[in-house]
Amino acid sequence: MQRDELRVIPLGGLGEIGLNMMVLEYNDDLIVIDAGLMFPEDYMLGIDMVIPDISYLRQKGDNLRAIILTHGHEDHIGALPFVLKEFKVPVYGTPFTLALVQEKLQEHEGIGKVEFKRVKPRDLVQIGPFRVEFIRTCHSIVDGVGLGITTPVGVLVHTGDFKIDQVPAGGELTDLRKFAEYGEKGVLVLLSDSTNAEREGYTLSEREIGQKLEEIVRVSKGRVIVALFASNIQRIQQVMDIAAKYERKVALVGRNILTNTRIARELGYMRFPRGGVVDVKDIDKYPPEKLLLFTTGSQGEPMSALSLMAMDNHKDVKIQKGDTIILSSRFIPGNEKAITHMINHLCRRGAEVIYEKISAIHVSGHGYREELRLMLNLIRPEFFIPIHGEYRHLVQHVQLAREVGMAEEKLLLAEDGDVISFNNGKGKIIGKVEVGKVFVDGKGVGDVEDMVLRDRRQLSEDGMVIPVMVINERTGEVVSGPDIISRGFLFEEKKGEILQQAKAVIKEVLEGVPLESKTDELEVENEVRRALKRFFRREMDRRPVIIPVIIEM
C-alpha cells in the first residue's frame, strides 16, 4: 500500500441486499462502517444467517481502530457479535443503535467488555486520521445517521440508508442542510444507498401511510392486528396513537416488539398512551372492536407470532372471524411463498388480510430515484461509488449519476472485495481482497461450506440410501446382508422391487472384488457406492446420497 493513500474496501453489501460492511484504510489505520448479516437464500439449507468474511481484517492485525454503525437494522449490526469476538475496538453509534447491539450481545458468549461510544447527529469524533461527523438520516428505524469523514486525502460522505420524507413519523428529517454543506466545501467521494435505484419518483410520506392505516382502523368492526418489523418504532408509535384516538387498547405480541419498544421508551423515542397498553394475556377481557395488536411475523417466518396465529398454534391469540390483519411491511424477495402461505391460512380462519400489494400501508425506508438524484446534486462529489444493493441496483445508480452530469471516469462501479484507491486526486479500482459469505449454522460459524450445502440440497432432492453389510475382516466373506435403508428416495410400494435389484447389484459387485480388496473396508465402500450410483441413475434417473456401512467382525 502506498503512503498517504485512502483505500475503500467493501467486504459486503455491494452485490447483495444485506451483509453491509465497509473498510476505510489510510496508511496503518483502519475503520469499519457497519457489520451486517444477510438472511439465508433458498439454496442455503439449514443456514441461520450469513455474515461477511473478515479475513482481510485478520490480516491487518491491530490496525483496526473502531467500528462505526449507521443504524440498528440487522443488515448493518447483525454480524457485529462475531466481529467483536476477534477485535476489541470501540463501537460508535447513536443511542438506539447501541442499545439494540447491547441487547444482541447478551445472546453471545466470549465477547467480553465492549467499549461503546454513544454519539448523536452533528457530533464530531477523531479516530486516528479520520474525523467523523454524524449526519441525521430519515429511515425506517429511529436514530439513523450518515457520515461525513474527513481524511488527509479528502472528504468521504457515506449516506447510510436514507430517504427524504418531508413529514416523517417521529420528525426525524434527513439533514439535507448538513449534506449540502459538505457539497459546498467539496467532497472527494460519495458512497450512497442504492436499494431503490430502480424505482421512479419519490417514496410516499409516512403521513400518507398513517392516513391509510387510520382509515382501516376507523372502519374495522373487530380486532385489528398489525404485523411489522419490530425495529420500525416510528410506525408502531403512529399506529399506537391511532388506536388511542379510536379508544382501542393495545397489546404487544412477540419478544422483539416487547424488547424494542421497551428500549425506545427508555430512551425517549416513543410514548405509550396512559392506560392504553394491556398484557396480551388479558385481551379476552375487552370486546374485539376495542383492541389493536402489534405482532412480528410479517415475512411469514415459521416460528413468528403471526405464523403461529395463522396455524392456530399461538398460546394467547386465536384468529377469529372479523379480525383485520395488516401486514405493514414489504414482501422481502425470497419470502413471497412463505408470506402468501400464511395469508391463505389467515383468510381460512375468517380474517381480512390487507397487505402492500392491495393497499398503500407500507413505505420503504430507502429513497427512490428522485431522492437519490437529489443527494447526488447536493453533494456533487468528484467520485461516486454506489453501495447497498444487488449489482443491478448499483448499475442503475451509476446511470443516475451520469444523468446529473458526472463524468464516466468518476463513476466507480465496485463489488465486494474491490480495493478502491484515492491518491493525488485520482480514484480507481486497483485490485481485490479475499471476501465471501460465511455461513452460521447454530453455534457453528464457517464450518458449513458449499460442499455441505450441496450435500444438503442433494439429500432434499433425491434422498439417501444406506446399504449395510457385515463382513468377516479376515476372509472378506459377507456374513450378513446386504440390507438397504432408504429415506426420502422411494415410495413405499416401489421400494421392494427396486431395493431387491439394488441388493443383487451389491452382491454382484462383491463377487467381482479381488480377495485382498474385500478386507479393505474403504475399497469395498467405494465399489458399492459407484455401482449403486450407476444403477439408480440408469433405472430411475436419480442421484441419492449413498452411504455404505461396512461392519467388520
Distances (CA, A) of 445 to 53, 57, 313, 490: 11, 17, 32, 34
The closest of 232, 291, 228 to 264, measured between CA atoms, is 232
Distance CA(348)–CA(353), nearest Å, equals 11
Cell 465399489 locates to 527
Contact 74, 36 (CB under 8 A): yes
Name the E strands within 60-150. Answer: 64-68, 91-93, 116-118, 124-127, 130-136, 145-150
* CB contact set of 215 (below 8 Å; sequence gap of 6+): none
Q: What are phi and psi of 138, to 5 degrees?
A: -95, 125
Q: What are phi and psi of 320, to 5 degrees?
A: -135, 160
Omega of the bond leading into 386 within 30 degrees of 0 (cis):
no
Question: Which residue in the list 366, 388, 393, 397 is annotated as catalytic?
Answer: 366
Distance CA(488)–CA(174), nearest Å, equals 54
The closest of 209, 202, 243, 204 to 223, measured between CA atoms, is 243
Angle 225-228-234 from CA coordinates, rounded to 5°:
105
- Residue 282 is a catalytic residue: no
C-alpha cell at 212: 391509510
Distance CA(97)–CA(69), nearest Å, equals 8
Strand partners, 466: 485
C-alpha cell at 263: 428500549
Distance CA(261)–CA(251), nearest Å, equals 12
- Helices within 73-172 (DSSP H only): 74-77, 80-84, 95-105
Q: What are phi and psi of 294, to 5 degrees?
A: -100, 140
Tally: H helices and E strands in the chain: 16, 29
- Residue 388 is a catalytic residue: no
Question: Which residue in the list 143, 161, 175, 193 is annotated as catalytic?
Answer: 193
Tell me whether strands 29-33 and 64-68 are parallel, antiparallel or unpaired. Answer: parallel
Tally of CB atoms within 10 A around 47 = 20
Query: Which strands form 29-33's sheet, in the order they lie side by side?
Result: 116-118, 91-93, 64-68, 29-33, 21-26, 6-12, 418-423, 426-432
Output the DSSP codes for 229-269. Answer: -TT-HHHHHHHHHHHHHTT-EEEEESHHHHHHHHHHHHTTS
Output the DSSP codes for 182-237. Answer: HHHH--SEEEEE-TTTTS-S-PPPHHHHHHHHHHHHHH-SS-EEEE--TT-HHHHH
C-alpha cell at 147: 457520515
Mind telling me the catalytic residues?
Answer: 193, 366
